[in-house]
Structure 1
Amino acid sequence: MSNEHIRYLIVPGWQGSPAGHWQSHWQRSLAGSARVEQADWLAPRREDWVAELQRCIAADPRPTLLIAHSLGCITVAHWAAQAPAALLQRVRGALLVAPADVERDNCPAALRNFAAIPRRPLPFASLLVGSDSDAAASAARALEMAAHWGSEAHVLAGVGHINVASGHRRWEQGFEYLYRLQGMVAARDRLRA
């Protein structure tokens, strides 16, 4: 799968990803990028967010890599649990960064309708990057989600929620995980050939 044929689909989390967020930087940096734009970033409804993700995937026939952050990761898991096979095949992989644990006790009320978190393996390659200092999901919960989803997991030390508030504006280090994911996709392609 050559890079010029890949569509990178940015899947922001709650409140979206502002211009200074690494997802916005990546969208400007990666050729063939698009973003899922939700109608309501502040009061998300699971059904609406999943439907919009599906609409964005269906709108372009190219092989797609999802680049999700926080609640966007949970949206991807919900979508994959109910998506039609033809659209699932279009998604080649997902980079899942700082997934939000919507089942935690102190979860904001606006996000609780995204519980329960799907626990079935994702039908495409996935790599999850969590943090040992993320208020939205403990390292243990991130690893648990990765295990359920069949994702390769990496827990980073002291990086918070991997967003603007934790100092991650460009997050150049993150490209290493994107390239690793692309290598995983290429390895799967070779096995299927």
Structure 2
Amino acid sequence: MSYVNNIIIVHGFLSTPRHHWFQWLRQQCEDADIRVLIPQMPKPRAPRPEKWLAKLRNTIDMPNEKTWFIGHSLGCITVLRYLSSLHERLKVGGVILVSGFAEQIETHPELSDFTATPIDFDLLRKAIKHRITILSSNDTIVAPRYTVKLREQLDAELYSFNGCGHFLDCDGFHQFPALRNILRDHLK
């Protein structure tokens, strides 16, 4: 997996870099000589989009074609909004969006500020070489239809899994070998 210089993993609502499969994936990538950054997003229990965007702007060097982003849940819309803010300078190797959405979800109306402003999907389709979405058929937090719509908006590949919930540690996701394999296959 050594063609990539950097992978940035952005966690979601109520989460931290220590949750779920994030540290496991970091170790898998670092073992392949890929630098991984997992920023601690501000106030994950009461997130504000402007604070999350500021965190990424202040933490990440200008991404390039050797940079990949992996977002989980609320981290997906945050990644897309951050990348959209870079405008014409934007060229990114890829994004992998796990349980992603780009519109208000009924399970968490308190997150509606994250989806209030439209995203420039035309820009993202042109600027991001590899666009990948991942969903679980029984995700009760981000219903699969939201990730399917996001896939359509981005013209992304879709990987669908059965019975994986929201890909949380409480769903058994302390590791995520399928995600590692998807990433590895796209980095060849």
Band of TM-score, shorter chain: 0.7 to 0.9
- Tell me, yes or no, if structure 1 residue 22 matches structure 2 residue 25: no
> What is the alpha-carbon distance in structure 2 between the residues aligned to residue 140 and residue 34 of structure 1?
29
Q: How does 1:1-193 map to 2 (within 5 A)?
A: 3=2, 5-17=4-16, 19-31=18-30, 32-58=35-61, 63-86=66-89, 88-89=90-91, 91-100=92-101, 103-109=104-110, 111-116=111-116, 118=119, 120-121=121-122, 122=124, 123-124=127-128, 125-183=130-188
Work out the CA distance in 2 between the residues paired with 1:119 and 1:163: 29
CA contact (8 A) 1:11 1:69 kept: yes
Query: Number of matched residues?
Result: 179
Post-superposition offset of 1:140:
2.1
C-alpha distance in 2 between matches for 1:112 and 1:71: 11
> Could you tell me how far apart the structure 1 residues matched to 2:184 and 2:12 are?
22
Root mean square deviation, CA, Å: 2.3
State the distance in 2 between where 1:72 and 1:22 align: 14
Percent identity between matched residues is: 23
CA drift of 1:20 comes to 4.8
Tell me how far apart the structure 2 counterparts of residues 60 and 131 of structure 1 sit (CA, whole Å).
29
* Deviates most, 154-163 or 33-42: 33-42
In the TM superposition, residue 19 of structure 1 has moved relative to its aligned partner by: 3.0
Q: Tell me, yes or no, if the aligned pair for 1:15 and 1:42 is still in contact at 8 Å.
A: yes
Q: TM-score, normalised by structure 2?
A: 0.83
